[in-house]
Amino acid sequence: MKKKPEIVVITGASAGLGRATVREFARRGAWIGLIARGKDGLEGARREVEAAGGRALAIPTDVADAKAVEAAAAAVEAELGPIDIWVNDAMASVFSPVKEMLPEEYERVTAVTYLGAVYGSLAALKRMLPRNRGAIVQVGSALAYRSIPLQSAYCAAKHAMLGFTASLRCELLHDGSRVKVTMVQMPALNTPQFGWVKSRLPRKAQPVPPIFQPEVGARAIYHAAHHPRREFYVGFSCAKAVWGNKLAPSTLDHYLAHTCYDAQQYDGAEDAGRPNNLWNALPGDHGAHGSFDSRARMTSRFLWLDLHRNLVGLGAAGLAAAAALWGTRAREQKPLWAERGRAA
């Protein structure tokens, strides 16, 4: 009997990490509800899912609209079937000093990056809780723990997502629910957002190195959906930011004040008049990758160890047991010179 395909919803599915996540689930046979604003990117994602042998439903949706997100969830279930996994990945940002930010920019970034995840979670829970099964994956960031200059709106939204997710997790545990929620904290990724994000920086925006390809994050999201735990850190740079902020936050404040302005910019003056996607999607299919392929890493050894921590733990335990056994036997065996002395 043929196995029933997983039904997955991915927000921010048209480009960047969301697009890479679509491909990761599609190559494993999932049927996918694709949610984003960009119609061209959604159509490209739909074609990729179908080329992999699956089914896809492209639903142009602004996740800042709660009613639209609920309608999209209903459409996915009507067309594809009961939702097994919901991935909240949609985001928006503005690169700008706080003193130059506008109130409506904070409102917009919060509505997309934070409230979009809340609305997606509510739509998923409405369907998963009565069935007592399902997984919600919140796509977070190292910036959910450690804020950096020039991205105050985005950092605040990711902090809010972290707080919301912790509350939801506690409630699910209290209720004994089999619905799982997990958060995947991302490092810097090579996505198209740096070419379309609204920016007041003097030079072109870039992710803070080290930079990873979005496929690294997509593999982590797929794993988290099927092996949920409290959270995952993708890459040592992400874990280092989280741990460093816990140990020495004031030191990091001063360090980032001196280094993180330049770290978020690279060669070439920014075009102040270029279009951005804060309010409206930009036309075209932008795919998963940004402009940093030559500098982006395709693998993360830290992530591999994290995803295989049980295997690594078993291996370490086996080595420890072998060493203890060897030591015991060595102590029990009498030295060769003692045997010779007894024979004499």
Domains of the chain plus CATH, in order, are 7-307 (3.40.50.720)
The whole-number pLDDT of residue 208 equals 96
pTM value is 0.89
The whole-number pLDDT of residue 301 equals 85
- β-strand 180-186 against 211-212: which pairing, if any? unpaired
Question: For the segment 122-175, what is each residue's pLDDT rounded down to a tens digit?
Answer: 999 999 999 999 999 999 999 999 999 999 999 999 999 999 999 999 999 999
The whole-number pLDDT of residue 319 equals 60
Q: Which residues does 180 contact at the CB level (< 8 Å), separation at least 6?
A: 134, 135, 136, 172, 228
DSSP 8-state secondary structure symbol assigned to residue 114: I
The whole-number pLDDT of residue 267 equals 87
Q: Is 154 a catalytic residue?
A: yes
Beta carbons within 10 angstroms of residue 4's beta carbon: 11
The whole-number pLDDT of residue 1 equals 63
Q: What SS3 class is residue 88?
A: strand
Catalytic one of 114, 119, 145, 154: 154
Q: What SS3 class is residue 269?
A: strand
Return the structure tokens found at 48: 């990729």
Using the CB atoms, write b or e for 267-288: b if 16+ within 10 Å.
Answer: eeeeeeeeebbbeebbeebbbb
Give dist(CA 136, CA 140) in Å, integer.
Answer: 12
Whose CA is closest to 216, among 182, 190, 192? 190
DSSP 8-state secondary structure symbol assigned to residue 151: B
Write out residues in the chain with pLDDT < 70, as ranges: 1-2, 310-344
